[in-house]
Amino acid sequence: APTLEPYPSPGRESAVQQEPAEAAPQAETGQMFGAALTPAQVRQESTLPGAERNPCCMGSAAAEMLEVLTGFVEGELADQRYYQTLARQAPAWARQQLRDIAADEGSHARRLLAVYFLITGECYRPIISCDRIYLPGWCAALRERYHEEACGGLNYARAAEGTTDPCLARLLNELSADEYRHADTMMRMLERSLRR
């Protein structure tokens, strides 16, 4: 309304206070839901959380990393499968730790799948490998896993540095820390195995 002041000074009656009296006839006629919005109402609605077409988190900045994220999903699922197999053939003292790491890897994959959905609005269907897993000797397997986990930590950290999306960077840094923690576990297991 051209006669209303958009930014009323304190003490004067605002347009918001005058609005209910003007809106009453609209409600009586049943046109409340079909009514056109005023520019002020449009501005107010566009400031609501989630109303932005390109949000600050998991938006177009994160979409640039989709190929990297799907690669991480595939890698985490492969690692989960490897640890499940390794746990079945490990010494009794190491089995539960390996099962826990396998569960961590599965959790990482699920988190990355949730991120994919947040960015795209679509579900990503990972490729599940059915190939048989051949394990080297126990110490050789730990050595291999140590390097895999340490490299995974480095790759997550690099990916975090390579995105401008703050939420994605935070998640990738958390996953990097988990991978380094798994590498430390592999080293402790190797130390224990080599003492024997």
pLDDT digits (tens, 9 = 90+) for 3-52: 666 655 555 444 444 444 444 444 444 444 445 556 555 455 445 445 45
Q: Which residue has the higher pLDDT, 167 or 7?
A: 167
CB 44 within 8 A of CB 90: no
**Per-chain mean pLDDT for the chain:** 81
Backbone angles phi, psi at 159, to 5 degrees: -65, -40
CA 94 centroid distance within chain: 30
Task: Look at phi and psi of residue 134 and say left if phi exceeds 0, alpha if psi is from -120 to 50, else beta.
Answer: beta
The pair of three-digit structure tokens given for residue 73, joined into one six-digit string = 């999903």
Over the stretch 62-72, which tens digit does the pLDDT of each residue have? 899 999 999 99
Answer whether residue 179 shows pLDDT above 80. Answer: yes
> How far is the C-alpha of 45 from the C-alpha of 41, rounded, in Å?
6
pTM attached to this predicted model: 0.70
For residue 6, the model assigns a pLDDT of: 61
CA 87 centroid distance within chain: 28
How far is CA 154 from each of CA 57, 84, 160, 177, 185, rounded to the nearest angstrom? 23, 23, 10, 9, 16
